[in-house]
Amino acid sequence: MSKVLFTEDHEYIIVDGDVGAVGVTDFAQKQLGDVVFVELPQVGKQLKPGEQAGVVESVKAASDVFAPVSGEVVATNAALEETPALVNEDPQGRGWFFKVKIAEPAELEQLMDETAYEALVAAQG
């Protein structure tokens, strides 16, 4: 069973075993507006929590995408390079950015669950 966790920078990670799919949250994509370009990390790249892993650009702004946990990038969503609007259409589904093999499972405990993330969004609201 997978679980979804969130960062204060509005990334999510959907954890399934020792791999997590990472992207930007629905709140983040709404703040960005229409996404026009996505830069993804290279497969094999080693990431640390909070490290820049990619970039998302919209008609309004460009924003870094940060790694929520340590690990190795094991896949990227090539569909985003052709159709960046998937981030707007289905951010926590077809709009994922990359998958990371989680190196330090204990780091997941530093992330927020959905209830805590919703409270953060409401406070920023």
Cα end-to-end span (Å), the chain = 31
* Domain of residue 26, residue span: 3-112
pLDDT of residue 2: 83
Query: Whole-angstrom Cα distance, residue 71 to residue 36?
Result: 27
pLDDT of residue 111: 98
Kindly state whether residue 107 falls inside one of the protein's structural domains. yes
Contact 35, 87 (CB under 8 A): yes
Q: How far is CA 5 from the centre of its chain?
A: 10
Kindly state whether residue 119 falls inside one of the protein's structural domains. no
> 23 - beta bridge partners?
12
> 58 - beta bridge partners?
35
pLDDT of residue 124: 87
- What pTM, to 2 d.p., does this model score? 0.96
Kindly state whether residue 125 falls inside one of the protein's structural domains. no
| Domain CATH for 55 | 2.40.50.100
Average pLDDT by consecutive 10-residue portion of the chain (125 residues)? 92 97 97 96 98 96 96 97 96 97 97 97 88
